[in-house]
Amino acid sequence: MGCINFFSIFTEMNFMKHYIFLIVLLSTSFGISQNTEALIKEIEAYQASENESFTNPETSILTTTDLETFTELEFYPIDLKYRVEATFVRTPNEKPFLMPTTTERLPEYVKYGEAHFTMDGKQFSLELYQNTTPSEDPEYIDYLFLPITDLTSGDGSYGGGRFLDTYIPEGDTMILDFNKLYNPYCAYNKRYSCPIPPKQNDLQVRIEAGVKDFGHH
């Protein structure tokens, strides 16, 4: 009866364990890499769509003078650090209010909920609003308005704040991709009336993501 080499068996099992771990690790890394690439491409597509809209005379909100010299919008570098998963908290029974704008117009909104998230180890909260006048466009039935200011406002981004399109989530979490922050129309053309972000949505952090200030034109 032959002798069993337990050391050899143990060595082979240990090797297989490490081999399987390495395969799983590589597969996970590959998956993360693919997901990251897909997210970046999605943001790039968004930026391209914005530039196309601004360049096209039929859809551009720019003045005739600015349109003649316009080439493209300036964005902060894409950084997935500014794509965060937030906890959504519904706030029912809120009273509608009139949101101040850059003109005398006073659209009526109601606070629909809050988005709580962490960035750079700090906790933040933003209020989400819903227009009390229902949209006739099916695409905007679940639309929530998210206007913000941050420490780049007036120092890199438009001083009057920026907006982010969000929608009512199905559960208690939602994605806030600040790489898709855009300027209100009045940042480009003074004939537009734009909501002024409430002070509750003033983030004490630099959100170096999304579109930059259009500058003086």
pLDDT of 22 > 90? The answer is no
pLDDT tens digits for range 141-152: 999 999 999 999
Phi, psi for residue 18 in degrees, rounded to 5: -70, -35
Under 8 Å between Cβ of 114 and 170: no
pLDDT tens digits for range 199-212: 999 999 999 999 99
Nearest to 184 by CA among 159, 155, 150: 159
Q: 33: how many CB neighbours lie within 10 A of its CB?
A: 10
Q: Is residue 140 part of a domain?
A: yes
Print the domain residue range for 109: 74-201
pLDDT at position 3 is 53
Q: Is residue 186 part of a domain?
A: yes
pLDDT at position 217 is 45
Q: Is residue 60 part of a domain?
A: no
CA 208 centroid distance within chain: 11
**18 or 184, which is more confident:** 184
Q: Is residue 121 part of a domain?
A: yes
Model pTM? 0.83
Q: 212 in helix, strand or coil? A: coil
Listed in sequence order, the residues at least 6 apart from 33 whose beta carbon sits closer than 8 Å to its beta carbon are: none
Q: What is the rounded distance in angstroms from the CA atom of residue 183 to the CA atom of residue 181?
A: 7
Q: Is residue 184 part of a domain?
A: yes
**Residue at 189: amino acid letter:** N
Q: What is the rounded distance in angstroms from the CA atom of residue 186 to the CA atom of residue 168?
A: 26
H-assigned helices in 56-127: 64-69
Q: Is residue 63 part of a domain?
A: no
Phi, psi for residue 4 in degrees, rounded to 5: -90, 125
Q: Is residue 107 part of a domain?
A: yes
Q: How many domains, in total, are found in the chain?
A: 1
pLDDT of 132 > 70? The answer is yes
Q: Is residue 154 part of a domain?
A: yes
Q: Which CA distances in Å does 178 have to 69, 76, 119, 148, 213?
A: 27, 10, 12, 10, 15
pLDDT of 7 > 50? The answer is no
Q: What is the DSSP letter of 154?
A: T
Phi, psi for residue 36 in degrees, rounded to 5: -60, -45
